[in-house]
Amino acid sequence: MSEKIFEIFEKKLEKLKQENLYRSIKDMESRKGMKITIEGKNYINFSSNDYLGLSQHPLVKQAAKQAVEIFGCAGGASRLLCGGTILHKKLEELLCEFKGTESSIVLNSGYTANTSLIPALADEEDIIFSDELNHASIIDGVRLSKAKKIIYKHADMNDLYKKIKETSCNGKKIIITDTVFSMDGDIAPLQELYEICKSEGAILYIDDAHGTGVLGQGHGAWKHFNLPKENFVVQMGTLSKAIGCFGAFVCGASSLIEWFINSARGFIFSTALPATIIASAFASLKIIMDDKTLIERLWQNTEKVMEVVKNLNIKTTDTQTPIIPVVFNTIHEATEASKIFNDLGIYAPVIRPPTVKLPRIRITISAGHTDRDIERLIEAFNLLYRQLHRV
Ligand SMILES: *Cc1c(COP(=O)(O)O)cnc(C)c1O
């Protein structure tokens, strides 16, 4: 029996391999700027969400070194016990300034944030309206909550409005959306979402994982649309993407943040982030707030690449951000194309269903890419064009 107990998984894994859906881990041996080494081969990294290259910024690294000397490697307990430091509080104050909110709290990851905050926010009698392309962590957070869930068509405000109007609700109405959709790079219609929430008395919960540090002069999607400060808006974001560190945060009304501290299970029952991470996130956020050159560089790099993608008529999405997906109809086509990128030393793996409907090579641009890195990517696009059109 004991040898057979996992046979069912072996069969499932075999099936995944046959269908080209098998996933495996590829760890880096080294990393310097956007250059990485994996299995002895050198690549330019075009798959990381380190949009500003801040994870290796000297000041960000320096902050972590100083903090480790003062506070050690970890706090050894949850925040509510004794795992936090004054650096945590300082970071939360800076996050309030950054997002223009009354209060904020840091959480251990974006995944933890969504799976803890959404169940804390939504009660049994509430209804959550969720965009069909929301991130997996939102989907899981909604599942963990006791609220009723209604999925609306991607970024379709008519569908959302119709669904809100035809649903009776005794509790709160909560609309949840990614600000930037991580696999397609398009931006949620926040202006319309804001207006719907205002007129319908709903709460708006936004996941700004890919907007923070990228949109709105770095302040995120809310600033990008120049929307006003409102207490019915809950702004979740991560420290793990453009901020280049690790962890997440939620910014919003004081009473709500206080409630999260008292009820979000991923906050209460998990060890606090180490001071090193918090100190480096603080340094990184300061850079984003005070110095716009990295953000400018990110957008210059992005525009250069997008121009080529458009000129070559390469199939992409309605992306408006540094996420540039190259979309294919079959996994076979995507894998073939990924060889071109791979041979040129460009690291951008294929993203497969069920993560996305159509397989794609998801390219992400960073301020950390040099002009030569960008030229190499453009060369790859030209080669891909020739392969697709057999010229
Ligand atoms: C990456 C991501 C998360 C998860 O954040 P982690 O800090 O990596 O756990 C949550 N939401 C969205 C939209 C993301 O892209």
Q: Which numbered atom of ligand 1 lies nearest the CA of 114?
A: 10
| Residue 213 CA, ligand 1 centroid: distance in Å | 14
Q: pLDDT tens digits, residue range 76-128?
A: 999 999 999 999 999 999 999 999 999 999 999 999 999 999 999 999 999 99
Q: Report whether residue 234 contacts ligand 1, using a CB cutoff of 6 Å.
A: no
Q: Which numbered atom of ligand 1 lies nearest the CA of 181?
A: 13
Residue ID of nearest Cα to ligand 1 atom 8: 110
Query: Residue 351 forms beta bridges with which residues?
Result: 360
Whole-angstrom Cα distance, residue 387 to residue 391?
7
What is the residue-averaged pLDDT of the chain?
96
| Residue 142 CA, ligand 1 centroid: distance in Å | 15
The pTM of this model reads 0.96
Percent of the chain with pLDDT over 90: 94
Q: pLDDT tens digits, residue range 271-285?
A: 999 999 999 999 999
CA angle 10, 11, 16 (to 5 degrees): 95
| Residue 110 CA, ligand 1 centroid: distance in Å | 4
What kind and span of H or E run contains 144? helix 136-144
Q: pLDDT tens digits, residue range 38-48?
A: 999 999 999 99
Whole-angstrom Cα distance, residue 13 to residue 21?
9
Torsion, Cα of 358, 364, 365, 371 (10° steps):
-80
Number of H helices, E strands in the chain: 14, 14
pLDDT band at residue 389 under the 50/70/90 scheme: confident
Q: Which long-range contacts (CB under 8 A, 24 or more apart) does 227-230 make?
A: 227/190, 227/191, 227/194, 229/100, 229/101, 230/194, 230/198
Q: Report whether residue 362 contacts ligand 1, using a CB cutoff of 6 Å.
A: no
Q: pLDDT tens digits, residue range 287-319?
A: 999 999 999 999 999 999 999 999 999 999 999
Tell me the backbone φ, ψ of residue 6, rounded to 5 degrees: -105, 10
Residue ID of nearest Cα to ligand 1 atom 7: 110
Give me the pLDDT at residue 354, please. 86
Q: How many CB atoms sit inside 10 A of residue 1's CB?
A: 4
Q: Report whether residue 205 contacts ligand 1, using a CB cutoff of 6 Å.
A: no
Residue 2 in this model has a pLDDT that exceeds 70 = no
Domains of the chain: 25-51+292-388 (3.90.1150.10), 56-290 (3.40.640.10)
Give me the pLDDT at residue 1, please. 54
Residue 56 in this model has a pLDDT that exceeds 80 = yes
Whole-angstrom Cα distance, residue 8 to residue 68?
45
| Residue of 182, 250, 364 to mutate, ligand 1, most atoms within 8 A of C-beta | 182
* Phi-psi map region of 33: left, alpha, beta (phi>0 left; psi -120 to 50 alpha): left
